[in-house]
Amino acid sequence: MSIRRAGERYRGGDASAGIESLHAFSFGRFYEPDNLRFGAVIACNEERLAPGAGFGEHAHSHTEIVTWVVDGELTHRDSAGHATVVRRGDVQRLSSAGGVRHIERNDAEVPLTFVQMWLAPKDPGGEPSYEIVRGIADATPYAVPEAGAVLHVRRLAGGGRTAVPDAPSVYVHVVRGAVGIDGAALGPGDAARITDAGNLALDAAVPAEVLMWELSG
């Protein structure tokens, strides 16, 4: 198990435009050859947008883009004709496939924070697709078969415990609160990269929200 702390993430964005970005993996101008990916996960970005701020139209291809809103509301529009407001507790997935363009904005009057995770598909190309699950429940895993991955959302009360999936690889990202795993303490923005996961559990010292990716390799 490798622990990556919130403070080790690369800082990006544009403060003058109301955008702050925190990158857990090599991203854009931040290049670290030993930190390109973990299994299918190639990006885990925490994005903070001030009211009225956002990312103008830009292109993606050959990437599964999964978004989790922490606080606020995210306005999404894409070239395939989808226009959606993503709220806290929703899971949004954009399969960029052979190519798609989209816009992401904070059109609300309060700050927006979201975590966006990119996964590499097993087979590139194809037609783009879009899906949103409103208010996903803890017990409902969200599968991304194109990348051989399953997302598990866990909201834990203080003193709560939940199993880590037994899998070849598991990526754990703490959204809020604090958890312990195999003797390591994790806080907001911290992550654990686990190989050959088995018989592990998360213990919440305080109420916590955690995203776990179960990866086939």
Tokens linked to 24: 């857990």
Concatenated DSSP letters of 59-89: EE-S-EEEEEEEESEEEEEETTS-EEEEETT
CB 167: neighbour CB atoms within 10 A?
A: 21
In this prediction, residue 208 carries a pLDDT of 97
Q: How far apart are the first and last CA of the chain?
A: 15
In this prediction, residue 99 carries a pLDDT of 85
Where in the sequence is the domain holding 112, given as residue range(s)?
Answer: 2-215
In this prediction, residue 202 carries a pLDDT of 97
Number of domains in the chain: 1
Concatenated DSSP letters of the chain: -EEE-GGGSEEEEEGGGTEEEEESS-BTTB--TT-S-BTTEEEEEEEEE-TT-EEEEEEE-S-EEEEEEEESEEEEEETTS-EEEEETT-EEEEE-TT-EEEEEE--SSS-EEEEEEEE--SS--S--EEEEETT--TT--EEEGGGTEEEEEEEE-TT-EEEPP-EEEEEEEEEES-EEETTEEE-TT-EEEEEEE-S-EEEESS-EEEEEEEE--
Q: For position 143, which CATH number holds? A: 2.60.120.10
Q: What is the pLDDT along the chain (217 residues), one digit of tens a residue?
A: 999 999 999 999 999 999 999 999 999 889 999 999 999 999 999 999 999 999 988 888 888 999 999 999 999 998 888 899 999 999 999 988 888 888 999 999 999 999 999 999 998 888 888 999 999 988 799 999 999 999 999 999 999 999 999 999 999 999 999 999 999 999 999 999 999 988 999 999 899 999 999 999 7
Label residue 160 left, alpha or beta by phi (over 0 means left) and psi (-120 to 50 means alpha): beta
In this prediction, residue 60 carries a pLDDT of 87
**pTM (two decimals):** 0.95
Tokens linked to 211: 């995203």
